Amino acid sequence: MNPLRDALSRKSTLVGMQSFSANPVFIEIMGYAGLDWVCIDLEHAPTSIEGVGAAVEAARATGLISLVRVPNIDATLIGKVLDLGADGLVVPHFESREDAEAVMDAVLYPPAGNRSACSSVRSARYGLSSWLQHSQTDNERISVVPLLESADAFDNLDQLMDLPDLFPAFWVGGRDLAQHMGVPGADLLSPELRPLCDKLIQAAQQRSVAVMATVSPHLTKEYANDLKDVGFRLLSFGTDETVFAKTCQSIGELST
């Protein structure tokens, strides 16, 4: 079973949050509060590989799909993350078919890829699972979500969208994309970015693939609903640290 693809088949919209703190308590709260997924960050956050392990277990305990954003296509790091039992990866700065092939090579066990094999890891139940069964089911279980953050990625959209089932969703990295387009701070519905989003969503709908967006720079339910209306099926409601910071700021305004 592929947790992300299965959830997309059951629900029209999946809502989650990025975990920059990797705090298991925050992640448990996300699950108990009814979120669908969490993305544990290794690109911008100072999270250790041990922190990823604890965060993945907190997600599993509360039924959250666990994604991990790696900083780049590093086969060794990707292997460690997947050995810890993460349900999938988010890969930043994804731009070409070569990127896709490198990711597939790192994620999938042979013969589909070249992921290093070790039975003494959490995802293989520390050697208690049948290796043949584990290697087959892990190849089916894991999802990769490419993060599209530049105009080059959208120029190569046709070759990126015609990818295997390993890629059930594509995430528009709005903040980086706005920077690359020369409109820093613009949202995805701005005149500069909206045509790219429409192009991606149309291509995704033709291929039964979902598109994800971060609910920023606004972080409001109203903007989230606007993104749903134009066809985004996965929504990231910012980061745990920013949501907490904005809540604290709002409470701080009570001080007189």
Distance CA 65, CA 165 (A): 17
Closest CA to 170 of 11, 4, 19: 4
Vertex 206: Cα angle to 136 and 35 (nearest 5): 60
Out of 44, 93, 180, 218, pick the active-site residue: 44
Look at the chain and count its residues.
256
Closest CA to 200 of 165, 144, 239, 151: 151
- The phi-psi region of residue 231 (left if phi > 0; otherwise alpha if psi is between -120 and 50; otherwise beta) is left
**Identity of the residue numbered 50:** E
Question: Is 218 among the residues known to form the active site?
Answer: no
Non-local CB neighbours of 6 within 8 Å, separated by 6+ positions = none
Q: Check if the beta carbon of residue 69 is closer than 8 Å to that of residue 77.
A: no
Q: Check if the beta carbon of residue 87 is closer than 8 Å to that of residue 57.
A: no
Q: Which residues are catalytic?
A: 44
